[in-house]
Amino acid sequence: MSQAAAKPAENKNEKDMKDIVALCKRRGFIFQASDIYGGINGFWDYGPLGTELKNNLRDYWWKKMVTTPPVGPDGHPVQIVGLDSAIIQNPAVWVASGHVGGFSDPMVDCRETKKRYRADHLIVLIPNDDTPWITSIADDEEFLNARLKKAAKGKSINDYKQKSLIDVDLSDYPKILAPDAKDKGTLTEPKEFNLLFETGIGASEADKTTAYLRGETAQGIFINYKNVVDSSRVKMPFGIAQVGKAFRNEVNPRNFIFRSREFEQMEMEWFCHPEDAPTWFEFWKSERKKFWESIGLSSENILMRDHAADELVFYSKGTCDIEYKYPFTDPDFGELEGIANRGDYDLTQHQEHSKTKLEYLDPERNNEKYLPHVIEPAAGLTRGVLALICEAYTPDPNRPSGVFLNFDPKMAPKKAAILPLMAKDGHPEVAEKLYMELREEFAVDLDIKQNIGKRYARQDEIGTPYCFTIDGQTLEDGTVTARERNTMAQERIALDSVAAYLREKLR
**Cβ pair 376, 339 in contact under 8 A:** yes
Half-sphere exposure of 265 (CA within 13 A, CB side): 31
* Distance, CA of 456 to CA of 421 (rounded, Å): 11
Q: Rule CB under 7 A: choose which of 262, 287, 391, 471 binds RNA.
A: 471
Residues 77-106 that bind RNA (CB under 7 A): 98-99, 102-105
Question: Considering only CA atoms, which of 61, 389, 459 is closest in space to residue 241?
Answer: 61
> 334-373 mask for RNA (x: CB under 7 A)?
----------------------------------------
2 exposed, middle or buried (CB, 10 Å; 0-12, 13-18, 19+)? exposed
Which CB atom, from 66 or from 181, has the smaller least distance to RNA? 181
User: Is 109 among the residues that bind RNA (CB under 7 A)?
Assistant: yes
Give how far Cα 356 sits from Cα of 48, 136, 192, 323, 448, Å.
Answer: 44, 43, 31, 37, 62
Residues 13-72 that bind RNA (CB under 7 A): 17-18, 21-22, 25-26, 32, 38-42
DSSP 266: E
List 222's β-bridge partners, or say none.
Answer: none
Query: Rounded to the nearest whole angstrom, what is the least distance from the CB of residue 234 to RNA in the complex?
Result: 27
If one counts every other C-beta atom within 10 angstroms of the C-beta of residue 265, the result is: 21
Q: Rule CB under 7 A: choose which of 5, 11, 13, 114 binds RNA.
A: 114
Query: Rounded to the nearest whole angstrom, what is the least distance from the CB of residue 394 to RNA in the complex?
Result: 14
> 117-156 mask for RNA (x: CB under 7 A)?
-x--------------------------------------
Residues 370-429 that bind RNA (CB under 7 A): 399-402, 421-424
**Cβ pair 464, 415 in contact under 8 A:** yes
Residues 294-313 that bind RNA (CB under 7 A): 313
User: Is 473 among the residues that bind RNA (CB under 7 A)?
Assistant: yes
> 198-217 mask for RNA (x: CB under 7 A)?
-----------------x--
Query: Rounded to the nearest whole angstrom, what is the least distance from the CB of residue 195 to RNA in the complex?
Result: 3
Strand intervals (E) in 158-253: 160-164, 176-177, 198-201, 209-212, 238-247
Query: Rounded to the nearest whole angstrom, what is the least distance from the CB of residue 233 to RNA in the complex?
Result: 33
Which CB atom, from 80 or from 196, has the smaller least distance to RNA? 196
Pairing of strands 262-272, 238-247: antiparallel
Q: Rule CB under 7 A: choose which of 251, 361, 494, 500 binds RNA.
A: 251
User: Is 116 among the residues that bind RNA (CB under 7 A)?
Assistant: yes
Which CB atom, from 53 or from 295, has the smaller least distance to RNA? 53
Question: Considering only CA atoms, which of 331, 382, 253, 249 is closest in space to residue 15?
Answer: 331
Q: 237: cis peptide before it, omega within 30°?
A: yes
Q: Rule CB under 7 A: choose which of 81, 87, 166, 195 binds RNA.
A: 195
